[in-house]
Chains A and B, each alone.
Chain A
């Protein structure tokens, strides 16, 4: 384990502790386990929320790193396959038809949405493992599911449903319970395991597709693993926290120098840095003085969009 990884782990521990302590009610360290009435805030609210932040951050970070490695594009984002907007559409359907009354139905719909988009992606891309067809298919699905979501908002039976949908689309970790942790943890764990196994193939893709194949990489198998891994990690994230953009885009960039720019070695540091970013951001949104809590999804976009622009300008200079 490198020194940088250790620092990341240490920062992560501090961030998690901060996330447990901070909020409308400050809970100091000595009140966490005692009979203090505030300990219930820790156990029932802050602990599941913090753990979910770690899971969501790790999932989005690794999904982003895997997608950037696979597409060999530093601007790629897990949203690009349409998986996250497909999952969002599923959740929106649950809200639209009023199924969200049962708490477990919304995440189920979201996962179904992710799975359906994934199946459509496989169907459109067909047996060809071509990167271009695949990326374009993902873009088509992203815009299709996006417009269906917009349709659902405009046709919402009551203004209340419309506002519920819009609020949900701006992802957040507010009031998440142990149920959400129970849902996300196994799916994300499997997804991360699948993506971790693609590391050598992602490294090989540094040399382009032909050379990677000559090194024993099987493109179709790799593509299946990437799609499955991204669908599981991103699907589970959207199902429990809504749409949180830009984490998968930003995090791999920040850790790439630690991995000496090797795409495979970027995966695990991205998990740590993603968890760190989301945990810190979710702690900060609680501390912004406002009537209602600032939504994490919005905060991330406010942070992410300028970052994206900065990346673009830097790339432009290098390409010029």
Chain B
């Protein structure tokens, strides 16, 4: 497994600087959360890592190769991307939806046994096997989120990048999808998530990157980085950090700094 890095990544959108000299090394086998206030550049950074945006200068590299210049198919095989919008434009069934994740592997040919096996594994991993024949429009919000996650998992990418995969889910599904993302990292792939909820990040992520106004405020192991001081510097809020009886940290904002 390979490291995903950025080197002095700078990006402007519509004349506004959204990322400024971002240099990071992301390790595989871990869940990394990108945190920061609205407009900090989290989604833009994720888009650069997935080569969906081309930086003005600097680069995102996979195994030392610029992701923007990787052949489209190779890139698609190695980097899976789960967008924030849960768009499904046609009323396909769940299995057909999940099979879309195999497109980079099968190209124009028909799906072969390996493709079908990967689809079944992804359905299994997201507990969607029983719903595989159901039209997407008949799914609940949580089931739909799981089906879309299964779509990315079916590609079995080395890196899974997801833009707020937990944002629109109720607590039960947040725990559920979070556990599946964790399992992906445990299996060796790198998982990078844009997260808004500090508590979710604290519980789920091995490492966090704090962004503010396009710059990295702090990056590293979650416990070391998510301090009240760093959160204050990033979000401009004072927080209280506590520990539950089970030893899990929680973070409560108490006011502006």
Q: A202-231, CB under 8 A of B: which get 1 and which 0?
A: 011111101101111110000000000000
When the two chains form the complex, which single residue of A208, A218, A256, A260 contacts B85, counting CB atoms closer than 8 Å?
A208
Known contacts A206-B100, A260-B92, A216 near B76 by CB under 8 Å? yes
Assuming the contacts A200-B107, A260-B92, asked whether A210 and B100 have C-beta atoms less than 8 A apart, the reply is no
Contact A213 B52 (CB under 8 A): yes
| B116 is an interface residue with CB less than 8 A from chain A | no
Whether A206 pairs with B103 at a CB distance below 8 angstroms is no
With A206-B97, A211-B81 in contact, do A72 and B103 touch (Cβ < 8 Å)?
A: no
Q: How far is the CB of A267 from chain B (nearest CB, A)?
A: 12
Tell me, in angstroms, the Cα distance from A214 to B91 when the chains sit together: 21
A214:B76 contact, CB within 8 angstroms:
yes
Interface residue? B33 (CB, 8 A): no
Q: Across the interface, which residues of A come within 8 angstroms of B155, CB to CB?
A: 215
- A161-182 vs B, CB cutoff 8 Å, 1 = contact: the mask equals 0000000000000000000000
Query: Are the CB atoms of B89 and A72 closer together than 8 Å?
Result: yes
A197 CB-CB contact with B under 8 Å: yes
Enumerate A26-65 residues with CB–CB distance to B below 8 Å.
Answer: none
> Would you give the shortest CB distance from A194 to chain B, in whole angstroms?
13
Nearest CB of chain A from residue B135's CB, rounded to whole Å: 8
Q: Mark B139-174, 1 if CB is under 8 A from A, else 0.
A: 000000000100100010000000000000000000
B176 within 8 A of A: no
Within 8 A of A (CB), among B203-223: none
Residues of B within 8 A of A72 (CB): 89-90
* Complex interface bits, B59-93 against A, C-beta within 8 A gives 1, otherwise 0: 00000000000001101110111110101111111
Residue of chain B at shortest CB distance from A263:
B90
Whether A262 contacts B80 in the complex (CB less than 8 A), given A197-B108, A203-B100, A204-B100, comes out as no
Taken together as a complex, chains A and B put the C-alpha atoms of A203 and B111 apart, in Å, by 13
Q: Are A207 and B91 in contact (CB under 8 A)?
A: no
Q: Interface SS of chain B: helix, strand, loop or mixed?
A: mixed
Inside 8 A of A205's CB, which chain B residues have their CB? 89
Q: Which residues of A contact B73 (CB under 8 A)?
A: 216
Q: Residues of A within 8 Å of B, CB-based: how many?
A: 23
**B108 & A207 in contact (Cβ 8 Å cutoff):** no
Partner of A218 from the list B72, B80, B93, B107 (CB cut-off 8 Å) is B72
A314 at the interface (CB under 8 A from B): no
- For A214, give its contact among B81, B92, B96, B148 (CB under 8 Å): B81
Q: Which of A200, A210, A211, A213 is B108 in contact with, Cβ under 8 Å?
A: A200
B96 engages A211 (CB within 8 Å): no
Tell whether A262 pairs with B75 under 8 Å between CB atoms, given A214-B50, A215-B100, A216-B104. Answer: no
- Interchain CA distance A260-B143 in the complex, whole Å: 20
Cα distance, A263 to B77, chains bound together (Å): 22
Q: How far is the CA of A156 from the CA of B100 in the complex (A)?
A: 54
Chain A residues whose C-beta falls within 8 Å of the C-beta of B92 in the assembled complex: 206, 260-262
| Residues of B close to A208: CB separation below 8 A | 83, 85, 87, 89
> Given contacts A204-B100, A214-B79, A216-B72, is CB(A262)–CB(B90) below 8 Å?
yes
CA A100 to CA B72, docked complex, whole Å? 48
What are the interface flags for B95-117 relative to A under an 8 Å C-beta threshold, 1 for contact and 0 otherwise?
01100110110111000000000
Looking at B75, B100, B106, the one whose CB has the most chain A CB atoms below 10 A away is: B100
A72-B75 Cα distance, complex, nearest whole Å: 25
A199 interface hit (Cβ, 8 Å)? yes
Check A211 against B87 for contact (C-beta < 8 Å): yes
CA distance A211 to B89 in the complex (A): 12
Q: Mark A298-309, 1 if CB is under 8 A from B, else 0.
A: 000000000000
Which residues of the partner chain A approach B108 to less than 8 Å between Cβ atoms? 197, 199-200
Min CB distance A128 to B, Å, is 14
B75: nearest chain-A partner, CB-CB: A216
> Which A residue sits closest to B50, measured CB to CB?
A214
CB-CB nearest in chain B for A74:
B90
CB distance from A22 to the nearest CB of B (A): 37
B52 & A260 in contact (Cβ 8 Å cutoff): no
Tell whether, in the assembled complex, residue A210 and residue B83 are in contact, meaning their CB atoms are under 8 Å apart.
yes
Residue of A nearest to B155 (CB): A215
By the criterion CB–CB under 8 Å, are A206 and B76 in contact? Answer: no
- B97 nearest in chain A by CB position: A206
Cβ contacts under 8 Å, A203 to chain B: 100, 103
Q: Contact flags (1/0) for A252-291 with B, using CB distance below 8 Å?
A: 0000100011110000000000000000000000000000
Query: Min CB distance, A294 to chain B, in Å?
Result: 35
Q: Which residues of chain B have C-beta atoms less than 8 A from A262's C-beta?
A: 90, 92, 96
Interface on B for A, CB 8 Å cutoff?
50, 52, 72-73, 75-77, 79-83, 85, 87-93, 96-97, 100-101, 103-104, 106-108, 135, 148, 151, 155
Mind listing 10 A-B residue pairs with CB under 8 Å? A72-B90, A200-B107, A206-B92, A208-B83, A208-B89, A211-B81, A214-B76, A216-B76, A216-B103, A260-B96
In the A-B complex, list the 3 residue pairs whose CB atoms are closest, starting with the nearest: A216-B76, A214-B81, A208-B87
Query: A211-B87, A214-B80, A216-B103 known; 13 other A-B pairs, CB under 8 Å?
Result: A197-B108, A199-B108, A200-B108, A204-B103, A206-B97, A207-B89, A207-B100, A214-B76, A215-B103, A216-B73, A216-B77, A217-B72, A260-B92
